Amino acid sequence: MLRLEGIGKRFGGLTALSGITFSVIEGSITGIIGPNGAGKTTLFNVATGIYPPSEGAVLLGEKNISALPPERRARIGLVRTFQNIELFGKMTVLENVMVGLHTQSKCGFLACSLRMPWQMSEERRIREKALEWLDFVGIPDLADVEAGALPFGKGRLLEIARAMALEPKILLMDEPAAGLNSRETAELAELIKKIRDLGVTVALVEHDMDLVMDICDQIVVLNLGTMLAQGTPREIQENPEVIAAYLGESED
Amino acid sequence: MELLQFVISGLATGSIYALIGLSFAIIFNSTGIINFAQGEFVMLGGVLTICAITLLKLPLLAAILAAVAGTTLVGIIFERFAIRPLKNATPLSLIIITIGASILIRGVVMLLFGKDTQALPAFSGTTPIEVGSATLLPQHLWIFGVTILVIIGSRLFFHHTITGKAMRACSFNRRAASLVGISVWRMVLLSFVISSALGSLAGVIIAPLTMTAYDVGVMLGLKGFCAAIMGGMGSGLGTVLGGLILGILESLGAGLLSSGYKDAIAFFILLLILFVRPQGLFKKGETERV
Amino acid sequence: MAKKKKVALKSDKIKFLVFCLVVLLAPLPFAKGYLSNVLIFVGVNSMLALGLNLLLGYAGQISLGQAAFFGLGAYGSGVLTTQFTMNPWLAMVLVAVSVALFAFLIGFPVLKLKGHYLAMATLGVGIIANIAFNETVDLTGGPSGLSGIPNLSIGGFTFDNDLKNYYLVWGFALVAILLSLNLVNSRVGRGLRAIHDSEVAARVMGVNARIMKVQVFTFSALISALAGSLYAHVVTFISPTSFSFAVSVELLTMVVIGGLGSVYGSILGALLLTLLPELLRAFQDFDIIVYGLLLISMTIYLPGGLVRGIPELFRRLVPARRGNA
């Protein structure tokens, strides 16, 4: 589904990533783990087009998407969430999800300003769709709340609903469990599985090992910008190099 | 050789743009703010000097010192009451606030000192000095001298004093600087002090050549900003070169093409650089701000 | 939920109708008096402030060059109708389209810039335009201005007094307000607000930020150009000072005072800042000091502007009732 080929990224003289090559298999959940500073978030930024890669290619299906800007990648099904949830704080929860439906609606400047009849019906359609997605993540009652006022855990759910509204082929989640308590994390695990069951491929960066080992089919380990290992959760847990890399760093 | 004459006067105004550009860069580097009121500091330098001479009957040197001190005080008040109350301000609100400060200062000066254009006497007379086919005014020499001194002085300050180094540290990474015990707010205040003093000094030394009034700040400020942009918003040689190039281009353009469009030249250059090379003329590589 | 939204939509409609009624009746107490003249300029300024607010308050993109589009509209209509004796309505359409096209073209490089750089670039555009108004003396009359611009007329009906012009200008303003209200509560409006809150997140959600910013910039230029044409035909004499940097700052002040990101806030800001100098006439020259203080203090203490600040104050005084903003 998503394939990264020899991805490298340098900032000035600093090499953040080099020679990253792996595939995310369609319909699976792939976890990307690694100590702090391993380059996980940078990898997501390259994959979603926020940074251009210094070298290598990003492929979605058969298509090389390395040169596409983020909004184009979103349109063809590559969507992400952020580590420090990036909600549209001054808009309501429902409106946030409706922005997620941007790619599935098309009324432009003219139709919107003139309030054409087809614009009205499109508006109704995306409103209902947005409510369905809020329902999907379990926060339909918060539809009219301002997104900036949400507690962190609910904000995370909203971000997932907003991303799902794009009906992605693949969803990249950057530390979805960060800042969640254990009950919320457990609910999140269920939600991620539910997303996978809808046929959406998931890749996530995560520090919470229990979560990763529980839900992932495949794990990629990064260390200092390079790939350390790749395999099933079982293989990774027994990999001596991975253990060494993690023991070198104090648990946080 | 008319050309030489254009170059000389271009270098003189260019030096002024360079000084103003430096004063922009100092605040920008310590705060990330582009101070839209910077030009008003320049205006205050000239206007306050004239006031000190005519109202307080001070001798020239004392008047200049008083004007620079007065402007610096305005800079401090500005930082204290308009910049500091807003922590975590968005660029948008900072732009709006500095614009507000700019028209406030202009309005107060207009109210107190009137709308008249006034001239400051030249520092050492107006007897022209022949340089080949062109002439040089003593005031030009003052401008060149002060500019060179300021460049040397700021170089020494930023690279060879503890305080200067601390200010540079803040510009690289505020958080890290505060972690090693540098008081970021003191550095911000200091940058306003230095910047307003520098801006007003530029205003003082140009005033005998161009006259001054309550409203000269806008143009001077914008051109100084243009110089700073050409130099990539650094506080070093790039901005100085940017100012000089701008001054010469303007003077040539005014002399050879049309004087009416003189001011437009700076803005065409400004737009061109912003569109094509926002990192400045002399810097290599990407300036990625995320 | 859906029901709730319908109620909200209905109340939006009622609000707009009430507003139309107020506009319709406002000049009655003054009939032929001096104030209706001022109210015409409130209309012009409302259009300008609205244009800026769509860009600044909704999309979060600053422009310090709005006076340029206003001036291009005014001079475009002025020059075409006086020097080339073109039909004023035709000229107005032609000018509006050209200005919009111009904005569209410069929009791409300009709106690539962010924050302070965007402010400086738009400021540069504004100043270059103002220099052009001053220097193209053959066309514009230069600093001494352009006079003899005809009033607008339809058939035999000429808009030749304050009252007629009031309804003319406000007719245009109301259409602009209606279109803007529609826009901000739609897919496009949500896209713009999303860009304002987080451009990166908006783009990752598939919002084409670049195009949308250029579109709203173009729309805002279009409204400003129309306001310029109307202004030229109403006052019949124009000069470059009416389109200077100071005017761009005044527009900014209107938007900040009224309320960033509020259509009616733009109108409120325009109303206050057009009336204020008239009321302060005794203290001439005080106005820019007042503007400066307002810009600073509003941004620090009341960033939502009056349109949000007043209800907020109300709510604090009457804690039991909660209105819907």
- Interatomic CA distance for residues A67 and A49, integer angstroms: 8
CA distance A12 to chain B (A): 8
The residue in chain A having the minimum alpha-carbon distance to the alpha carbon of residue B288 is A11
Residues on chain C touching B99 (C-beta within 8 angstroms): 64, 249, 252, 295
Confidence check: pLDDT of C323 > 70: no
Contact C289 B92 (CB under 8 A): no
Q: By percentage, how much of chain B surpasses pLDDT 70?
A: 97
Count Cβ–Cβ pairs < 8 Å, chain A vs chain B: 3
Contact C205 A162 (CB under 8 A): yes
Q: By percentage, how much of chain A surpasses pLDDT 90?
A: 62
The 3-state secondary structure of C252-308, one letter per residue? HHHHHHHCCCCHHHHHHHHHHHHHHHHHHHHHCCCHHHHHHHHHHHHHHHCCCCHHH
Contact B274 C121 (CB under 8 A): yes
**Within a 13 Å sphere around the CA of B43, how many CA atoms are in the beta-carbon half?**
26
Residues on chain C touching A70 (C-beta within 8 angstroms): 200, 203-204
Q: Which band of pLDDT confidence, cut at 50, 70 and 90, is reported for residue C99? A: very high
* Average pLDDT for chain B: 87
Bridge-partner residues for A55, per DSSP?
A8
The shortest CB-CB distance from B274 to any of C113, C245, C299 is to C113
Per DSSP, which regions of A41-113 are E strands?
55-60, 63-64, 78-81
Confidence check: pLDDT of B282 > 60: yes
Contact B101 C131 (CB under 8 A): no
For chain B, say whether A118 makes contact (Cβ under 8 Å).
no
In-domain check, residue B41: yes
For chain C, say whether B95 makes contact (Cβ under 8 Å).
yes
Instruction: State the total domains in chain A.
Output: 1
DSSP state of A249: S
Q: What is the pLDDT of residues C108-148, one digit of tens each?
A: 999 999 888 999 999 999 999 999 999 999 999 999 999 99
For chain A, say whether C101 makes contact (Cβ under 8 Å).
no
Average pLDDT over residues B43-72: 93
pLDDT score for B74: 95
Query: Does residue B248 contact residue B11 with C-beta atoms inside 8 Å?
Result: yes
In-domain check, residue B126: no
pLDDT score for C155: 85
In-domain check, residue A209: yes
Contact C187 A69 (CB under 8 A): no
DSSP state of B255: I
For chain B, say whether A117 makes contact (Cβ under 8 Å).
no
In-domain check, residue B74: yes
- Interatomic CA distance for residues B138 and B125, integer angstroms: 7
In-domain check, residue B232: yes
pLDDT score for B287: 41
CA A92 vs. chain centroid, Å, equals 21
For chain A, say whether B172 makes contact (Cβ under 8 Å).
no
pLDDT score for C325: 40
Distances (CA, A) of B134 to B2, B8, B9, B141, B235: 7, 8, 10, 14, 32
CA distance C193 to chain A (A): 8
The residue in chain B having the minimum alpha-carbon distance to the alpha carbon of residue C303 is B93
The shortest CB-CB distance from C204 to any of A74, A87, A143 is to A74
Query: Does residue A251 contact residue A225 with C-beta atoms inside 8 Å?
Result: no
Token pair in block for residue A128: 């209902």
Contact B99 C113 (CB under 8 A): no
Amino acid at residue number C60: G
CA B241 vs. chain centroid, Å, equals 14
Amino acid at residue number B25: A
Average pLDDT over residues C261-283: 87
- Interatomic CA distance for residues C136 and C157, integer angstroms: 33
pLDDT score for B288: 38
Q: What is the pLDDT of residues C37-75, one digit of tens each?
A: 889 999 999 999 999 999 999 999 999 999 999 999 999
Kind plus residue range of the DSSP H or E element containing A30 = strand A29-33
Contact B275 C286 (CB under 8 A): no
Residue A216 vs residue B211, higher pLDDT: A216
pLDDT score for B289: 36
Query: Does residue B67 contact residue B49 with C-beta atoms inside 8 Å?
Result: yes
What ranges in A115-168 are assigned the alpha helix state H? 117-137, 152-165
Contact C288 B104 (CB under 8 A): yes
- Interatomic CA distance for residues B11 and B142, integer angstroms: 12
Which among C256, C238, C270, C281 has a CA at the least distance from the CA of C39?
C270
* Average pLDDT for chain A: 90
Task: Give SS3 for B212.
Answer: strand
pLDDT score for C211: 94
Show the domain range for A237: 2-247
Give, to the nearest 10 degrees, the angle between helix B217-230 and helix C115-135: 130
Contact C288 B107 (CB under 8 A): yes
Domains of chain C listed by start with CATH number: 2-317 (1.10.3470)
Q: Which band of pLDDT confidence, cut at 50, 70 and 90, is reported for residue B286? A: very low
Residues on chain B touching A11 (C-beta within 8 angstroms): 288
Instruction: State the total domains in chain B.
Output: 1
Average pLDDT over residues B238-262: 88
In-domain check, residue A61: yes
For chain B, say whether C272 makes contact (Cβ under 8 Å).
no
Q: Note which residues in 230-249 of chain B have CB less than 8 A from chain A.
A: none
Residues with Cβ within 8 Å of C91's Cβ and at least 6 positions away in sequence, in order, are: C76, C77, C80, C81, C229
Confidence check: pLDDT of A251 > 50: no
Instruction: Read off the CATH number of the domain in which B104 is found.
Output: 1.10.3470
Amino acid at residue number C122: T
Instruction: Read off the CATH number of the domain in which A190 is found.
Output: 3.40.50.300
For chain B, say whether A12 makes contact (Cβ under 8 Å).
yes
Residues on chain B touching C288 (C-beta within 8 angstroms): 103-104, 106-107, 110
Q: Which band of pLDDT confidence, cut at 50, 70 and 90, is reported for residue C319? A: low
- Residue A177 sits at φ, ψ, to 5 deg, of -95, -5
Contact C120 B82 (CB under 8 A): no
The shortest CB-CB distance from A88 to any of C188, C201, C215 is to C201
For chain A, say whether B116 makes contact (Cβ under 8 Å).
no
- Interatomic CA distance for residues B59 and B119, integer angstroms: 15
Q: Rg for chain C (alpha carbons), in Å?
A: 20
Q: What is the pLDDT of residues B91-104, one digit of tens each?
A: 888 899 999 999 99
Q: Which band of pLDDT confidence, cut at 50, 70 and 90, is reported for residue C8? A: low
Q: Which band of pLDDT confidence, cut at 50, 70 and 90, is reported for residue B179? A: confident
Amino acid at residue number C75: Y
- Interatomic CA distance for residues B131 and B134, integer angstroms: 5
The 3-state secondary structure of C25-58, one letter per residue? HCCCCCCCCCHHHHHHHHHHHHHHHHHHHHHHHH
For chain C, say whether B287 makes contact (Cβ under 8 Å).
no
CA distance A50 to chain B (A): 10
Task: Give SS3 for A4.
Answer: strand
- Interatomic CA distance for residues A79 and A97, integer angstroms: 13
The residue in chain B having the minimum alpha-carbon distance to the alpha carbon of residue A45 is B290
In-domain check, residue A252: no
pLDDT score for C278: 78
- Interatomic CA distance for residues B54 and B116, integer angstroms: 14
Q: Which band of pLDDT confidence, cut at 50, 70 and 90, is reported for residue C5? A: low
In-domain check, residue A145: yes
Which among A165, A5, B24, B242 has a CA at the least distance from the CA of C204?
A165
**Within a 13 Å sphere around the CA of C317, how many CA atoms are in the beta-carbon half?**
6
Average pLDDT over residues B234-251: 88
For chain A, say whether C22 makes contact (Cβ under 8 Å).
no
For chain C, say whether B30 makes contact (Cβ under 8 Å).
no
pLDDT score for A250: 46
Q: By percentage, how much of chain B surpasses pLDDT 90?
A: 45
**Strand A55-60 with A2-11, pairing:** antiparallel
Q: What is the pLDDT of residues A138-149, one digit of tens each?
A: 999 999 999 999
In-domain check, residue B122: no
Contact C119 B95 (CB under 8 A): yes
DSSP state of A119: H
**Exposed/middle/buried for C323, CB within 10 Å: 0-12, 13-18, 19+?**
exposed
In-domain check, residue B277: no
Q: Note which residues in 227-266 of chain C have CB less than 8 A from chain A.
A: 261
Confidence check: pLDDT of A243 > 50: yes
CA distance C29 to chain A (A): 34
Residues on chain A touching B92 (C-beta within 8 angstroms): none
- Interatomic CA distance for residues B264 and B250, integer angstroms: 9
- Interatomic CA distance for residues C245 and A178, integer angstroms: 48
How many residues in chain A? 252
For chain A, say whether B285 makes contact (Cβ under 8 Å).
yes
Confidence check: pLDDT of A130 > 90: yes
Token pair in block for residue C312: 């907020």
Cα-Cα-Cα-Cα dihedral of C38, C44, C47, C51, to 10°?
A: -120
- Interatomic CA distance for residues A3 and A227, integer angstroms: 14
Residues on chain A touching B285 (C-beta within 8 angstroms): 12
In-domain check, residue A188: yes
Residues with Cβ within 8 Å of A146's Cβ and at least 6 positions away in sequence, in order, are: A89, A90, A91, A92, A93
Q: Could you tell me which chains touch chain A, where touching means 3 or more CB pairs under 8 A? A: B, C
pLDDT score for A252: 43
The residue in chain A having the minimum alpha-carbon distance to the alpha carbon of residue C218 is A109
Residues with Cβ within 8 Å of A197's Cβ and at least 6 positions away in sequence, in order, are: none
Q: How open is the CA angle B90-B96-B98, to the nearest 5 degrees? A: 100
The residue in chain C having the minimum alpha-carbon distance to the alpha carbon of residue A49 is C204
Confidence check: pLDDT of C320 > 60: no
Contact C289 B104 (CB under 8 A): yes
Confidence check: pLDDT of C6 > 80: no
**Strand A218-223 with A29-33, pairing:** parallel
- Residue A206 sits at φ, ψ, to 5 deg, of -155, 145
pLDDT score for C32: 59
Show the domain range for B213: 2-115+138-270
Bridge-partner residues for A11, per DSSP?
A14
In-domain check, residue B280: no
Contact C206 A103 (CB under 8 A): yes
In-domain check, residue B224: yes
**Within a 13 Å sphere around the CA of C170, how many CA atoms are in the beta-carbon half?**
24
The shortest CB-CB distance from C193 to any of A88, A115, A144 is to A88
Q: Which band of pLDDT confidence, cut at 50, 70 and 90, is reported for residue C1? A: very low
Confidence check: pLDDT of B66 > 90: yes
Q: Which band of pLDDT confidence, cut at 50, 70 and 90, is reported for residue B159? A: confident
Average pLDDT over residues A226-237: 89
Contact B271 C135 (CB under 8 A): no
For testing the chain C interface, which of B92, B219, B261, B269 should be mutated: the one with the most C CBs within 10 Å?
Answer: B92
Q: What is the pLDDT of residues A37-90, one digit of tens each?
A: 788 889 999 999 998 899 999 999 889 999 999 999 999 999 999 988 899 999
What ranges in chain C are assigned the alpha helix state H? 2-25, 35-53, 66-82, 88-110, 115-135, 137-140, 162-184, 187-197, 199-204, 209-235, 245-258, 263-279, 287-301, 306-317
